């Protein structure tokens, strides 16, 4: 069903379960993801929707008490075993990751240069001098001025935007095929956000990378991605093209509600998704039927009892799982 | 290198059988250790210890399977030991033990006797019963441990609280005094105090109390500062409450839990401190028994009479149990 | 794009505009910090002299009578009292003593024949310092790998076994540990050798089993081989190389390093028990906290090895608090050396202190307490100051 020549990453039916003191918690429940080569795919959802866990499951970067299973994970035509961490040279060279908070995602007691040199020395087996020279090139490449002097600074000596650039330099050091960016602009101010997104877009184009962009902000994604996966309570509830997001012809009621939380998609992303009443369900007590039903304005009796079956929009090709999908743009207003 | 026993075999045997097998193995090892006189005492000791470890590992698995994964048999054992030792110390005079205090009354007893039915842990150089001395020694250890904490804890907490509330010069002076006292290594300060004071139980309590004042000052000062900034204290001040009322009715009850849980651990520290002082011959003198001075006396003879080191066991167990219970209580408090 | 960096991204001017300017202000701040630490240190040492002097003035009994014994005539007593300055007011005596301390003169011993106290201390200090130094080094050498591996395997069998053994270490008073070691290594050295052999054999068997199982699960057998190999080596070394430890006494380095080390080995082992427990528990907790941080995840995401993650990413930030604790435990360690010097009859400051307290030789007690406390406070202040130079996080923030 998948064409390996176009899809870099195919994930089907991924489940991630964490063992906690209160019992097993399924944080990602049967999620699918398809990333075509050279494209940018977005994952959106509220905090607690499992999107970060989903990203970490893709890289198998979970705590030891997590169980990951999947029907299929294929990367670059190779079948991966989700139960076993990949060979570590897979990380950083095939798939790389940019994290949300560069202050904490960079080691506070090591210099920026040392942290950029790490993957070069390990994966590319460069010697100290070459790695350092390459690290300076990388810093310049991600738009940090005076890269040579920055190499010897510690993360706290850089501004937030600089740190995120340094973080990106670490991630692209070994020219991975796929970059997973988990909320790469959260906590930065708006101007810097735009610069970082522009940088990611430029790097993606120059290196022919594919990118998975994870955000809680659907408006931000609409500007950056080709395709959006909407996550709710550990499930991917809708997969749709960016055009449907832009002209607000999405089908799932949750996606529609997310869009309504941002009436003007072109406006700068500022507000959080607070206008949907209530919060995501407790993963230990998932509602039966549709998980969004308790918060959904359009829910009827069947929504609380039966899990909606995945459906496909014949016109746009979008996949969604909703009993009473939104029909047209008018209904959203 | 530990290899989990239960997992190496084909794992087809029911867990309960494994658990019972481990308990049984432990019991057999202990039995062998107790009943084979011809092997070296050290080997017997090691065998016995290994047996106890196995018995404990198996029993704790059985109990966890029975009472749920949060059941901690170690804590129950520790608690039972403390109850036992406190009861024994309290009722020492009533217990049917052979003479253990007055050498002149033990003239007919054998000296350096090995453990037997008459003397469960043998006798020392005067023919005094070792078990009886341990029981009386427990009394000293517990009294000085608790007494020292009571004295030091009360004074230290009051000083710390006052300093935290009054701030300014009082705080500076108390802080400096605390730093000075803390700059003496604990045993050194204790020895200096012991050199000044007559070695009697009351004075040892006093010395131990002085030893722990600074740490209680630090603890209560930090906790007091945290509480003093909270709205209900400001509220009480705004309502015109007196300083004393605020200190004792508003702040003290709030810091008391952390002070008490710390105090429990300090009891263990002081028991070791007193035992060390006793061991150096600077605490209560022979023939009055303390765990420390019994071991000091045994030091000369323990190559030929290893059983004279017996007081080390209750000393270890008591300190271990107090630490264990203290950690358990603290973990419980944080869990809430 | 490289030219598009805007002002918003660079830090506010003045705070980090030019490295040179920042360097100068930082140096000034650090100098002020160091100065304030030194002032505080001196005031505390002043307090220490005060307490060590006046506390011993309260000692019951007449020091002169103690020194001369019961047969002394009143004239002899008066002469000694005058020569010790005991006939003058206490304050004058204190100032005299302080003056002596500054010039390194701590008076003479009361016990006859009278010798200078400073000479006594100087002769004994190296023994105590050797004990402390070796104990710290050995404890760290054992504690750091234990803590790293426990943190890596937190909650697993290795971690649980280590932490329950360490629980026991903490509850083991120094003199009990010392006597146990004497019993094992001096009185029953043969049994220890046999146990070493048994350990080596058992470890060899278990290692092979573990390595084989690892191969079957297609995991790397390397950890099992390294751990088991270490156990085999230790056991074998115990069997083959266990030297004969003396029950008591000290051999100076000048009589051969080997003999010197054997004579201090058991005392040092006895002292390491508590330190290993304290260091391991602290470092393990710190490391577990550090391993949960995002930068560790990020490091794994860029494909760093487990060793790199554990050592470079987690151990390094945790080392700073470990250094502080090492300084603080030196106080406990000094108490411990008093005990082991007593048990093993080593000619250190501790055994001198014990003997002097027993004989009522108060000038020696005063001087010993002062020297010990002064060394302890100074070491900790140095660690505090070093901290601000070593930790880049603290180095940057204004040192207060």
Residue A162 has pLDDT above 80, yes or no: yes
Banded pLDDT at C15 (limits 50, 70, 90): very low
Contacting chains of B (3 CB pairs or more, <8 Å) are C
Residue A2 has pLDDT above 70, yes or no: no
Picking from A256-270, B144-158, B256-270, C143-157, which range would have the lowest pLDDT averaged per residue?
A256-270
> DSSP for C317-342?
HHHHHHHHHHHHHHHHHHHHHHHHHH
Confidence (pLDDT) at C5: 36
In tens, the pLDDT along B23-81 reads 888 888 888 877 766 566 667 777 888 888 888 888 888 887 777 777 778 888 899 99
Chain B CB contacts of C216 under 8 Å are none
Q: In terms of DSSP bridges, do strands A95-98 and A178-182 run parallel, antiparallel, or are they unpaired?
A: parallel
Separation of first and last alpha carbons in chain A: 37
Residue of C301, C390, C393 best to disrupt the A interface, most CBs of A under 10 A: C301
| Nearest-CA distance B180 → chain C (Å) | 5
Chain C CB contacts of B177 under 8 Å are 47
> pTM for the full model?
0.82
Residue C2 has pLDDT above 50, yes or no: no
Query: Using the beta-carbon criterion (under 8 Å), do C373 and B184 form an inter-chain contact?
Result: yes
Whether the Cβ atoms of residue B134 and residue B310 lie closer than 8 Å to each other: yes
Number of H helices and E strands in chain A, helices first, is 11, 13
Chain C CB contacts of A117 under 8 Å are none
Length of chain A: 333
Contacting chains of C (3 CB pairs or more, <8 Å) are A, B
**Average pLDDT, rounded, for chain A:** 83
Confidence (pLDDT) at A88: 72
Residues 6+ apart with CB under 8 A from B35: none
- Which residue would you say has higher pLDDT here, A106 or B44? A106
Tell me what the mean pLDDT of segment B212-230 comes to: 90
Interface of C with A (CB under 8 A): 1-2, 4-6, 8-11, 16, 19, 293-295, 297-305, 308, 312-313, 316-317, 320, 391-393, 396
Chain B CB contacts of C348 under 8 Å are none
Chain C CB contacts of A145 under 8 Å are 2, 5
List the single residue in C295, C301, C393 with the smallest CB-CB distance to A61: C301
List the single residue in C167, C333, C357 with the smallest CB-CB distance to B191: C357
Residues 6+ apart with CB under 8 A from B129: B97, B98, B99, B100, B106, B109, B119, B121, B123
Residue of A109, A162, A181 best to disrupt the C interface, most CBs of C under 10 A: A109
List the single residue in C175, C184, C188 with the smallest CB-CB distance to B276: C175
The chain C residue lying nearest A86, using CA atoms, is C303
Whether the Cβ atoms of residue C207 and residue C233 lie closer than 8 Å to each other: no
Confidence (pLDDT) at C23: 54
CA A93 – CA A123 distance, rounded (Å) = 7
Cβ under 8 Å to B: C residues 189-208: 191, 195, 203, 206-207
Query: Using the beta-carbon criterion (under 8 Å), do A154 and C396 form an inter-chain contact?
Result: yes
List the single residue in B180, B186, B275 with the smallest CB-CB distance to C51: B180
**Average pLDDT, rounded, for chain C:** 82
Whether the Cβ atoms of residue C186 and residue B302 lie closer than 8 Å to each other: no
Confidence (pLDDT) at C60: 66
Q: What backbone torsions phi and psi does residue C284 show, to the nearest 5 degrees? A: -60, -45
Q: What backbone torsions phi and psi does residue C60 show, to the nearest 5 degrees? A: -70, 155
At CA B22, angle to CA B17 and CA B28, rounded to 5? 120
| Nearest-CA distance B135 → chain C (Å) | 19
Give the burial string for B63-99 (b: 16+ CB within 10 Å, else e).
eeeeeeeeebebbebbeebbeebeebbeebeeeebbb
The chain C residue lying nearest B191, using CA atoms, is C357
Residues 6+ apart with CB under 8 A from B268: B145, B318, B319, B322, B323, B326, C171
In tens, the pLDDT along C189-216 reads 888 888 888 888 988 998 888 888 888 8
Residue B210 has pLDDT above 90, yes or no: yes
Picking from A70-74, B283-287, C5-9, C238-242, which range would have the lowest pLDDT averaged per residue?
C5-9
| Nearest-CA distance B108 → chain C (Å) | 30
Whether residue B51 has a cis bond before it, omega within 30° of 0: no
CA C386 – CA A315 distance, rounded (Å) = 69
Chain C CB contacts of A171 under 8 Å are 301-302
Chain C CB contacts of B276 under 8 Å are 173-175, 335, 339
Chain C CB contacts of A91 under 8 Å are 300-303
- In 3-state terms, what secondary structure has residue A215? strand
Whether the Cβ atoms of residue A174 and residue A120 lie closer than 8 Å to each other: yes
Confidence (pLDDT) at B206: 93
Residue A189 has pLDDT above 70, yes or no: yes
In tens, the pLDDT along A24-40 reads 888 888 888 999 998 99
Residue C321 has pLDDT above 70, yes or no: yes
Residue of B184, B292, B325, B328 best to disrupt the C interface, most CBs of C under 10 A: B184
Residue of B183, B279, B301 best to disrupt the C interface, most CBs of C under 10 A: B183
In tens, the pLDDT along B83-102 reads 999 999 998 888 887 887 88
Query: Using the beta-carbon criterion (under 8 Å), do A157 and C16 form an inter-chain contact?
Result: yes
Chain C CB contacts of A125 under 8 Å are none
| Nearest-CA distance A142 → chain C (Å) | 7
Tell me what the mean pLDDT of segment C103-119 comes to: 82
CA A230 – CA A302 distance, rounded (Å) = 22
Residue C296 has pLDDT above 50, yes or no: yes
In tens, the pLDDT along A119-131 reads 898 888 889 999 9
């Amino acid at each position: 069903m998948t064409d390996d020549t176009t899809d870099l990453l195919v994930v089907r039916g991924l489940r991630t379960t964490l063992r906690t003191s209160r019992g097993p918690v399924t944080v990602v429940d049967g999620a699918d993801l398809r990333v075509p080569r050279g494209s940018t795919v977005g994952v959106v959802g509220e905090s607690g929707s499992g999107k970060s866990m989903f990203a970490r499951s893709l890289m198998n970067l979970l705590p030891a008490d997590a169980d990951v299973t999947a029907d299929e994970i294929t990367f670059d035509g190779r079948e991966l075993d989700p139960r076993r961490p990949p060979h570590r040279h897979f990380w950083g060279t095939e798939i790389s990751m940019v994290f949300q908070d560069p202050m904490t995602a960079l080691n506070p007691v090591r210099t920026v240069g040392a942290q950029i040199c790490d993957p070069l020395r390990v994966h590319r087996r460069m010697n100290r001098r070459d790695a350092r020279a390459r690290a300076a090139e990388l810093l310049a490449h991600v738009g940090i001025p005076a890269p040579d002097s920055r190499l010897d600074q510690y993360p706290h000596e850089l501004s937030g935007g600089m740190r995120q650039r340094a973080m990106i330099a670490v991630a692209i050091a070994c020219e991975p095929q796929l970059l997973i960016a988990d909320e790469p602009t959260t906590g930065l101010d708006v101007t810097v956000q735009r610069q970082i997104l522009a940088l990611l877009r430029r790097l993606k184009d120059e290196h022919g990378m594919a990118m998975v962009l994870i955000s809680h902000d659907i408006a931000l994604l609409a500007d950056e991605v080709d395709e959006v996966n909407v996550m709710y309570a550990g499930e991917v509830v809708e997969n749709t093209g960016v055009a449907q997001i832009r002209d607000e012809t999405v089908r799932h009621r949750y996606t529609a509600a997310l869009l309504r939380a941002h009436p003007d998609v072109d406006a700068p992303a500022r507000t959080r998704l607070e206008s949907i009443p209530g919060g995501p369900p407790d993963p230990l007590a998932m509602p039966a039927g549709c998980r969004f039903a308790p918060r959904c304005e359009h829910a009827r009796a069947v929504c609380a009892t039966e899990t909606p079956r995945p459906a496909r929009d014949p016109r746009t090709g979008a996949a969604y799982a909703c009993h009473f999908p939104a029909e047209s743009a008018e209904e959203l207003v | 290198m530990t290899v989990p026993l239960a997992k190496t075999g084909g794992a087809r045997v029911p867990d309960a059988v494994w658990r019972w097998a481990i308990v049984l193995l432990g019991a057999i090892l202990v039995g062998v250790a107790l009943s084979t006189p011809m092997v070296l005492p050290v080997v017997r000791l090691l065998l016995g210890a290994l047996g106890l470890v196995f018995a404990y590992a198996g029993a704790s698995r059985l109990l966890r399977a029975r009472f749920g994964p949060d059941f901690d048999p170690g804590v129950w054992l520790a608690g039972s030991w403390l109850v036992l030792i406190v009861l024994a110390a309290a009722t020492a005079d009533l217990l049917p033990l052979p003479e253990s205090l007055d050498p002149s009354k033990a003239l007919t007893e054998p000296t350096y006797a090995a453990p037997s039915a008459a003397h469960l842990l043998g006798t020392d150089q005067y023919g005094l019963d070792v078990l009886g001395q341990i029981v009386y020694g427990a009394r000293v250890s517990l009294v000085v441990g608790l007494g020292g904490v009571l004295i030091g804890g009360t004074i230290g907490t009051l000083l710390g609280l006052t300093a935290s509330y009054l701030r300014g010069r009082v705080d500076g002076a108390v802080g400096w005094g605390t730093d000075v006292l803390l700059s003496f290594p604990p045993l050194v300060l204790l020895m200096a105090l012991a050199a000044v004071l007559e070695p009697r139980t009351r004075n040892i309590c006093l010395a131990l109390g002085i030893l722990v004042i600074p740490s209680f000052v630090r603890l209560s000062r930090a906790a007091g500062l945290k509480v003093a900034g909270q709205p209900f204290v400001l509220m009480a001040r705004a309502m015109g409450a007196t300083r004393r009322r605020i200190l004792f009715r508003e702040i003290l009850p709030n810091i008391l839990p952390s002070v008490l849980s710390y105090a429990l651990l300090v009891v263990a520290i002081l028991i070791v401190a007193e035992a060390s002082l006793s061991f150096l011959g600077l605490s209560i003198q022979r023939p009055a028994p303390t765990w420390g001075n019994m071991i000091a006396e045994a030091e000369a003879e323990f190559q030929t009479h290893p059983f004279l080191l017996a007081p080390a066991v209750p000393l270890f167990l008591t300190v271990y149990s107090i630490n264990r219970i203290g950690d358990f209580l603290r973990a419980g408090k944080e869990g809430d | 794009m490289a030219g598009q960096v805007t002002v918003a991204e660079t830090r506010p001017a003045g705070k980090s505009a030019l490295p040179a300017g920042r360097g100068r202000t930082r140096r000034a701040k650090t100098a002020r910090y160091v100065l304030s630490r030194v002032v505080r240190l001196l005031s505390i040492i002043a307090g220490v002299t005060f307490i060590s002097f006046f506390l011993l003035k309260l000692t019951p009994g007449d020091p002169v009578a103690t020194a001369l014994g019961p047969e002394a005539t009143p004239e002899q007593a008066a002469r000694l009292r005058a020569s010790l300055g005991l006939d003058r007011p206490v304050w004058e005596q204190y100032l005299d003593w302080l003056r002596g301390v500054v010039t390194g003169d701590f008076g003479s011993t009361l016990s006859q024949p009278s010798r200078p106290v400073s000479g006594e201390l100087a002769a004994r200090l190296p023994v105590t310092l050797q004990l402390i130094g070796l104990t710290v080094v050995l404890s760290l050498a054992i504690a750091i790998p234990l803590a790293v591996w426990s943190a890596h395997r937190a909650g697993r069998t290795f971690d649980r076994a280590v932490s329950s053994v360490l629980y026991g270490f903490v509850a083991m008073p120094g003199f009990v540990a010392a006597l146990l070691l004497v019993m094992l290594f001096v009185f029953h050295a043969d049994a220890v050798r046999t146990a070493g052999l048994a350990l080596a054999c058992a470890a060899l068997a278990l290692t092979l089993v573990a390595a084989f199982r690892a191969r079957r699960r297609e995991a790397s057998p390397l950890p099992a081989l390294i751990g088991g190999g270490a156990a085999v080596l230790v056991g074998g070394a115990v069997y083959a190389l266990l030297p004969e430890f003396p029950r008591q006494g000290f051999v100076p380095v000048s009589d051969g390093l080997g003999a010197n080390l054997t004579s201090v080995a058991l005392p040092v082992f006895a002292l390491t028990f508590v330190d290993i427990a304290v260091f391991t528990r602290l470092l393990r907790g710190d490391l577990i906290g550090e391993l949960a941080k995002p930068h560790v995840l990020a490091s794994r995401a860029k494909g760093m090895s487990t060793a790199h993650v554990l050592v470079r990413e987690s151990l390094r930030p945790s080392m700073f608090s470990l250094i502080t604790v090492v300084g603080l435990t030196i106080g406990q360690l000094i108490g411990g050396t008093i005990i082991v010097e007593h048990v093993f009859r080593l000619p250190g400051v501790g055994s001198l202190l014990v003997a002097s307290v027993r004989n009522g030789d108060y000038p020696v007690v005063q001087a010993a307490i002062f020297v010990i406390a002064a060394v302890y406070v100074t070491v900790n202040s140095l660690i505090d100051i070093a901290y601000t130079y070593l930790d880049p996080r603290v180095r940057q923030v204004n040192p207060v």
